[in-house]
Amino acid sequence: MKMRAAVLERFGEPLAVQEVELAEPRAGEVLVRLHACGVCHTDLYTASGADPSGYAPTVLGHEGAGVVEAVGPDVTSLGLGDHVVTLFSPQCRECIHCLDPRTNLCLAIRERQNEGFLPDGTTRLSRGGEGIRHFMGCSTFAEYTVMPEIALAKVSPEAPFEHACLFACGLSTGLGAAINTAAVRPGATCAVFGAGMVGLGAVAGCRLQGAERIVCVDLSPQRLELARGQGATDLIEGGEGAVEQILEMTDGFGADYTFEATGNVAVMRQAVEAARMGWGLCTVAGVAGRGETLDVVPRLLITGRRIAGSSFGGVKGRDQVPALVDRYLAGEIDLEPFVSHRLGLDEVNRGFELMEAQDGIRSVIEFS
């Protein structure tokens, strides 16, 4: 079939919205008609050429929500009309990682996905007979996508698409960092560094876990106000003095749980330093630049602090994204403040501009 899609032709150039070919789903694959897709830093990072593992041409986008339009052979868990959220982090339910509750890093299709191919090593996207690669296994800056069944979460049809798509990346990452990775205890004191989509999700996750005090640290006063709306009880301006302020607020001890959601290694260090001696757990969700390292005084660890990394919030996507969406539908999370701009597919480059200007939390592309 023919469809419109935003193609990254060359790094550093605007995406080119154009007509491309999408082939039918093969065994284990599903055709999804997209209704909404968030614009994320990772898309921009790849488009800019800064990601050394990036490739072009490719159709970007990985925060999609839509409806199943057709299924290939052997697809058993999804059917026509199902509402789905795309998962760059799949869940096959069979590999040793999927069978272990300690991780969500499914091993089934990692290598092929990283190369821009579907699990059988080919692509469904093309133009004039030349293949176009899939981005993060998703390629959702397009009217339709073909994805493996194991990379789609079936969610309630009651969730509006523009909100459902937020669960495809940053929101679930933040919520899961608090709920899964840190497993914040009721009554705890938490400190969240960064109030973008990930950090705000972590603030909401700490609140849902019953934290008593949630300190949020960011450079932007507007973003700190959004954090208050998600349950932050104390707001701190980021920078040099942030750790000291958190220590002062906690009788000199630090927070039971800290979260880093900026991608800045100096802030990661602050998040470790702001964790309580004895049992403080620092969860790192931000993605640092290539080659950067985290500099921590080992004494902080000997005296009981721990550091954990969290990819997609430790969320096993097919099982947990539907459950998170249900909590949103039950009124436990307010997502309206996160959708700052609604754009058409033709305006996708404007979405990048808004992100670079830190204008709002998420621009969402809506497909008519």
Ligand X SMILES: NC(=O)c1ccc[n+]([C@@H]2O[C@H](COP(=O)([O-])OP(=O)(O)OC[C@H]3O[C@@H](n4cnc5c(N)ncnc54)[C@H](O)[C@@H]3O)[C@@H](O)[C@H]2O)c1
Query: What residues are annotated to the active site?
Result: 40-42, 62-63, 92, 95, 98, 106, 110, 169, 362
Q: Which partner in ligand X, Zn ion, none is near 217 (CB below 5 to 8 A by kind)?
A: ligand X
CB of 45 to ligand X, least distance (A): 7
- 264-280 exposure pattern, b = at least 16 Cβ within 10 A, e = fewer: bbebbbbbbbbbbeeeb
| Candidate ranges 87-95, 271-279, 286-294, 323-331; the one touching Zn ion (CB under 5 A) | 87-95
Site for Zn ion in 35-74 (CB under 5 A): 40, 42
Q: Which partner in ligand X, Zn ion, none is near 341 (CB below 5 to 8 A by kind)?
A: none
Q: Are 310 and 283 in contact (CB under 8 A)?
A: yes
Q: Does 220 bind ligand X (CB under 6 A)?
A: yes
Q: Does 202 bind ligand X (CB under 6 A)?
A: no
| Candidate ranges 67-75, 104-112, 116-124, 270-278; the one touching Zn ion (CB under 5 A) | 104-112
Cα–Cα–Cα angle for 209, 230, 364, nearest 5°? 115
Q: Which partner in Zn ion, ligand X, none is near 351 (CB below 5 to 8 A by kind)?
A: none
Helices (H) and strands (E) in the chain, counts: 11, 18
Query: How far, in whole angstroms, is CA 325 from its chain's centroid?
Result: 14
Q: Which partner in Zn ion, ligand X, none is near 108 (CB below 5 to 8 A by kind)?
A: Zn ion
Question: Phi and psi dihedrals of 178, rounded to 5?
Answer: -80, -40
Of 7, 138, 169, 364, the residue at the interface with ligand X (CB under 6 A) is 169
CB of 214 to ligand X, least distance (A): 15
Measured over the CA atoms of residue 232, residue 260, residue 44 and residue 56, the dihedral's sign is negative
Q: Are 321 and 155 in contact (CB under 8 A)?
A: yes
Interface with Zn ion by CB under 5 A: which residues?
40, 42, 92, 95, 98, 106, 108, 169
